[in-house]
Amino acid sequence: TPINEPAKLQIDGAQGTTSFADNYSGLQAIDGDPETYWSTAPNETSKAGITFLFKEAKTISSLNMFFVAEPVGLLPKEVILSTPNGESREITFRGLAGWESASFEALTTDTFILTPTSYFSVGSPSFVNIYELELYGY
């Protein structure tokens, strides 16, 4: 049943992986601490992405991203949130300091793939940083 207000999805039961290396855990982007951020390895921007795996299907209808006041590297401007069965949503952020929220038509699955497609360049253009994410839904 849908809820009246978005509820933050628990990260219990979720495992974050990147699309290029296991040693950069996507969990760093959903640990509630913008001091620990997920980053690609240098010169791996074309393979940037995080896959979230849940024990059971979740319905996601909003994605919040945190932009720090003094970031480094590339920050996602446009991202695609997709599912293994081919559903996807394009999301655009402004990149202003603080939390930005984007709502979209809900997706339901146990696997969500977040892929940045364009970036804000605020330092070295050779790597991508995601400081903090929140997934909302029901």
Average pLDDT over residues 77-84: 96
Residue 92 pLDDT exceeds 80? yes
| Structure confidence at residue 1 as a pLDDT band (50, 70, 90) | very low
Residue 57 pLDDT exceeds 80? yes
Model pTM? Answer: 0.89
Give the integer Cα–Cα distance in Å for 85 and 92: 22
Predicted pLDDT of residue 50: 92
Give the integer Cα–Cα distance in Å for 91 and 98: 17
Across the chain, what does the average pLDDT equal? 88
| Structure confidence at residue 3 as a pLDDT band (50, 70, 90) | low
Predicted pLDDT of residue 2: 53
Distance of CA 4 to the CA centre of its chain: 23
Cα 78–Cα 133–Cα 34 angle in degrees, nearest 5:
115
The percent of residues above 70 in pLDDT, for the chain, comes to: 96
Record the tokens describing residue 31, joined without a space: 């640990």
Amino acid at position 89, single letter = R
Predicted pLDDT of residue 104: 97
User: Tokens 């390895």 — which residue?
Assistant: 41
Average pLDDT over residues 27-40: 88
Strand partners, 74: 121, 128
Asked whether 53 and 110 are in contact (CB, 8 A), the reply is yes
Among the listed residues 43, 48, 42, the one whose alpha carbon sits nearest the alpha carbon of residue 20: 48
Query: Which has more confidence, 117 or 126?
Result: 117
